Structure 1
Amino acid sequence: MRQFTKFIAPALIAVTSLGAIAPGIAEAAPNRHVQAARHYDIRSDIQGLRANIDRAAARRTISQREASGLRRDVVDIQRLYGQYSRGGLSAQETRILGNRVNKVYASLRMERHDYDRRRG
């Protein structure tokens, strides 16, 4: 009986406590994965937007003035992303950033097809 209390009882306590801790670890891992995916998606959207603006300016489908205005909008989005990402991106913050990116994409499309070479 003495051997039971010395070796087996602590082992049983350790096993039961691992059973209580494991679900918490399992919940934290997907959340980290979702956060990383959100960060990657937003960063890639911003980089793609900047590349599209640069490409349109190089092809002269928009003027340099239009391009600089759109780039300023992208810088504002990057600044907002920096503020939001300090504490981790929530679903609402991701949605806000996505909407801002989509608005600049829409502005870029409009600027490409207006052929007036001025902003707005």
Structure 2
Amino acid sequence: MRKIARFIAPALVATLGLSAIAPTIAEAAPRHDVRHGPNREAKVRSDISSLRAKIDRAAARRTISQREAANLRKDTAEIQRLYGTYSRGGLNAREIQTLESRINRVEAALRADHRGPRR
């Protein structure tokens, strides 16, 4: 009986010890589908509303035509719809990258339209 206790006791202690640190190991491990916090989502929301304001300002100053403004507003509305679809379960890194890329494209188009045609 003592021989069995000699083997079982250390095995039991080791098992209990591993089960106590297992959650901390799992928490430290990187996740592949990490959901980003509200700060990152708030920045994307802010970028979208800022983009709308920039388009409205450029249209009001007549630095872009109404047609250009309408096209840029349509693109921004599409980004907003995509954001709504993605944000239902929280945004992951790929979704944020997609949204930021589209926002950057519309901003680049706004800058290009703002400068007017090249001569």
* TM-score normalized with structure 1 length: 0.68
**Secondary structure at 1:104's aligned position in 2?**
helix
User: Given the alignment, which residue of 95, 101, 104 partners 2:103?
Assistant: 101
1:45 corresponding residue in structure 2: 47
Gaps spanning 5+ residues in structure 2: where? Answer: 1-19
2:83 corresponding residue in structure 1: 81
Q: Distance in 2 between matches of 1:56 and 1:91?
A: 31
Q: How many residue pairs end up in the alignment?
A: 102
Q: Distance in 1 between matches of 2:26 and 2:60?
A: 52
RMSD: 2.9
Q: Distance in 2 between matches of 1:94 and 1:21?
A: 28
Question: When you count helix as a share of all residues, which structure comes out higher?
Answer: 1
Larger radius of gyration: 2
Which structure 2 residues correspond to residues 5-16 of structure 1 after superposition, within 5 A?
Answer: none
Does 2:83 match 1:59? no
**Secondary structure at 1:93's aligned position in 2?**
helix
Q: Which amino acid aligns with 1:110?
A: A
Shift of 1:52: 0.2
**Secondary structure at 2:67's aligned position in 1?**
helix
1:6 corresponding residue in structure 2: none
Q: Which amino acid aligns with 1:92?
A: R
Q: Which amino acid aligns with 1:107?
A: A
Shift of 1:20: 7.8
Gaps spanning 5+ residues in structure 1: where? Answer: 1-17
Q: Distance in 2 between matches of 1:74 and 1:63?
A: 16
Q: Which amino acid aligns with 1:80?
A: L
> After the TM superposition, which segments of 4 or more aligned residues of structure 1 sit over 2 Å from their partners?
18-25
